[in-house]
Amino acid sequence: MAGVNKAILIGNLGRDPELRRTPGGQSVTSFTLATTERRTDRDGQRQDRTEWHNIVAWGRLAELASQYLKKGRTAYIEGRITNRSWDDRDGNKRYRTEIIANTIQFLGAPSGQASPKPAEDIPVPEEFDAPGGVAEPDSVAEEDLPF
Q: Looking at domain 7-115, which CATH architecture does it have?
A: Beta Barrel (2.40)
DSSP string across 93-137: EEEEEEEEEEEEEEESPPTTSPPPPPGGGSPPPGGG-SGGGSPPP
Q: How far apart are CA 52 and CA 137, in angstroms?
A: 41
- Map out the domains of the chain as residue ranges: 7-115
Q: Indicate yes or no: pTM above 0.75.
A: no
Supply the pLDDT for residue 123: 35
Please, which pLDDT band fits residue 108 given cuts at 50, 70 and 90?
confident
